Amino acid sequence: MAAKQFKVILDEFQRDYLIDLISSGTNSARKLTRARILLKADESEFGPAYADEKIKEAVEVSIPTIERTRKTFALEGITAALTPKKPSKPPNPKFDGEKEAHLIALVCSDPPQGHARWSLRLLADKMVELKHFTSISHEAIRKVLKKTNSNLG
């Protein structure tokens, strides 16, 4: 068995905090699970220092989850280990303010001849025709209109 790269060594305050957190039961399941992982992985003189395989069985999580929790605790501290990271989702790189404004102006304008109103596909085709994009999906158009609270109705 290989030595653990990141050790969890809790001080008395951290142990008490995690025990209180679990006892209250009012936090998210993810946070409570991470707290249980840290308590079971604790290699201080008061901790059980379970092996990852034993933690996996006790807490019913995957080994990678245990490893990530250990690593986050070791590198960033207890708060980071318990708090979920927000996924970094970049905004739609295709649209800048000018293209968004032009799209909204199109939505507000009269639809093409033969159509009662603009559809997402018509808007996508028009944006390509106007050379804003070489191609754009109707789904990308929908997301921008939703983000800007514009609708086609």
pLDDT in tens, 93-112: 778 888 999 999 999 999 99
Mean pLDDT of 1-24: 88
Question: Which residues form the domain of 66?
Answer: 12-82
Helix or strand or coil: residue 23?
A: helix
Q: What is the rounded distance in angstroms from the CA atom of residue 81 to the CA atom of residue 92?
A: 30
Helix or strand or coil: residue 80?
A: helix
Tell me, yes or no, whether 71 and 132 share the same domain. no
Considering the domain boundaries, does residue 45 fall inside one? yes
Tell me, yes or no, whether 16 and 66 share the same domain. yes
Tell me, yes or no, whether 121 and 78 share the same domain. no
Tell me, yes or no, whether 106 and 75 share the same domain. no
DSSP string, 75-105: HH-HHHHHSPPPP-----TT--HHHHHHHHH
Tell me, yes or no, whether 104 and 51 share the same domain. no
For residue 66, pLDDT beyond 80 = yes
Considering the domain boundaries, does residue 91 fall inside one? no
Model confidence at 11, pLDDT cuts 50, 70, 90, reads very high
For residue 2, pLDDT beyond 70 = no
Q: What is the rounded distance in angstroms from the CA atom of residue 138 to the CA atom of residue 118?
A: 12
Residue 29 CB burial class (10 angstroms; 0-12, 13-18, ≥19):
exposed
